[in-house]
Amino acid sequence: SGSVSTDSEKTLAHRIGSQDSQVSNDGGDADGPDHIWPRQSSLSSREWDIPLDEVILEEKLGDGQFGVVHKGNWHGAVAVKMLNMESASHQRRSEIMATFRQEVATFRKTRHENLVLFMGACVKPPNLAIVTSLCKGLTLYRHLHFQTDKFNHNRIGSIARQICLGMGYLHARGILHKDLKTKNIFYENGKVVITDFGLFSVAKLCQEGRRGNYLTIPRGWLYYLAPELLKDLRPGVEHPDLSFSTRSDVYAFGTVFFELLTGTWPFRDQPPESIIYQVAKGIKPSLANLYSIVEYKDILMFCWSYQAHDRPDFTRLQGHLERLPKRKLSRCPSQPSNPTRSN
Ligand code: ADP
Ligand code: MG
């Protein structure tokens, strides 16, 4: 029985190692247990498939641009993002499928404390869904715009640093988020979890199916769009090829940072055309009335640099935030009664 246990340990070791086995062939597997599990490599492309009937769907969490999101149970609490393909034409469906597979392939490469845990995908048309861990806290969006929670400087620093860590990791792995916004950042017990990275293209394809062949700009999206992206969104251009880059993600982070500092939106109360005009021209909201330390204002303006190449990257931002001295909280500007806060 000793040899059986050794073999199964080897198999286990191999399986654990095999998640990246296509990449790394080194390690002590020279005489490898491939003969024990010869179909491992052919299995690996399906390794993340989850049959939808294994997932118990519970209440609906909400509607997003991707489709409906449900709470569910699959070996514990999960979030299930169902893709809505109903209104898509036959040709469009195969396009959505291909994009979906590609984006799932990206998603499953991620393992970071500040990123939502990808658990698997249902890839049997017409049932397409993504299963992730369930985030229990509220989104920053809800904290800031509904609960009007006010975070003190140190907390803002901690949240921003964690976002930079998660985003720095994504970029290092060659993944663009493309939809970084406070609605996609959960915050619970001091911990930040970023969701919905790399799902933008499939979400966009599904939207086009539902709303006709043009890309609408939901108001909540506009605020995060870098000037170079806004310029791609000219009326009449049906399938704009948006010039997303690591630096357009940094621009979006700038807006998240602005929300953290002010609890509101840049250019709030202005009509979308006016916002588009100003951002495309490089006009930024004034920070003159913003109660904040100058270092934070500098970071904000740096992230909102007009030229993409002038914006910092997340690793640099993270390091910068890390080095800022902690503030004493005795005169905390975030106390609800404090009248100096700008909004
Ligand atoms: P959006 O991000 O624009 O709000 P989504 O489709 O991503 O749209 O989400 C729809 C709803 O489901 C939102 O209320 C969102 O907070 C919730 N949700 C999405 N992903 C998760 C998750 N992993 N855990 C908990 N709730 C989630
Ligand atoms: Mg989302």
The closest residue, in CA terms, to atom 23 on ligand 1 is 134
Residue from 206, 207, 226 nearest 126 by CA: 206
Between the CA of 66 and the centroid of ligand 2 the distance, in Å, is 8
Task: Give the N- to C-terminal CA distance of the chain in Å, as an integer.
Answer: 71
Q: Which residues contact 34 (CB under 8 A, 6 or more apart)?
A: 14, 40
Q: Evaluate: CB of 2 within 6 angstroms of ligand 1.
A: no
For residue 139, the ligand 1 atom closest to its alpha carbon is: 16
Residue of 69, 138, 141 to mutate, ligand 1, most atoms within 8 A of C-beta: 69
Residue 95 C-alpha to ligand 2 middle, in angstroms?
Answer: 22
Contacts of 106 (CB under 8 A, 6+ apart): 175, 198
Q: What is the pLDDT of residues 318-331, one digit of tens each?
A: 999 999 988 776 44
* Ligand 1 center to 117 CA (angstroms): 14
Pocket of ligand 1 contains residue 132 by CB under 6 Å: yes
What is the distance in A from the centroid of ligand 1 to the CA of 48? 21
Could you list the active site residues?
179
Q: Is 203 in the pocket of ligand 1 (CB under 6 A)?
A: no
**Ligand 2 ion local residues (Cβ < 5 A):** 184, 196
Could you report the per-residue pLDDT of 231-287, keeping only the tens digit for each? Answer: 887 666 656 678 899 999 999 999 999 999 999 999 988 998 899 899 999 999 988
- Atom 13 in ligand 1: which residue has the minimum CA distance? 62
User: How far away, in angstroms, is 225 Cα from ligand 2 center?
Assistant: 16
Quote the pLDDT of residue 238. Answer: 59
Closest CA to 160 of 252, 257, 304: 257
Query: Is any ligand 1 atom within 6 A of the Cβ of residue 228?
Result: no
For every one of its 343 residues, what pLDDT tens digit does the chain have, with 9 covering 90 and above? 333 344 444 443 343 333 333 333 333 334 444 444 444 433 344 667 888 889 999 999 998 877 899 999 999 999 999 987 777 788 888 888 888 888 888 888 899 999 999 999 988 777 789 999 999 999 999 999 999 999 999 999 999 999 999 999 999 999 999 999 999 999 999 999 999 998 877 777 766 655 554 556 666 788 999 999 988 876 666 566 788 999 999 999 999 999 999 999 999 889 988 998 999 999 999 888 888 899 999 999 999 999 999 999 999 999 999 999 887 764 444 444 333 343 3
What tokens appear for 102 in the block?
């590609």
Whether 182 is in the pocket of ligand 1, judged by its Cβ within 6 Å, is no
- 138 forms beta bridges with 187
Q: Which ligand is nearest to the CA of 130?
A: 1
Q: What are phi and psi of 342, to 5 degrees?
A: -95, 90
Whether ligand 1 lies within 6 angstroms of the CB of 317 is answered as no
Phi, psi of 273 (to 5 degrees): -60, -40
Looking at all shown ligands, the one closest to residue 186's CA atom is 1
254: tokens are 């700038």
Q: How far apart are CA 239 and CA 57, in angstroms?
A: 34
Determine if ligand 1 sits within 6 Å of the CB of residue 184. yes
User: Exposed/middle/buried for 42, CB within 10 Å: 0-12, 13-18, 19+?
Assistant: exposed
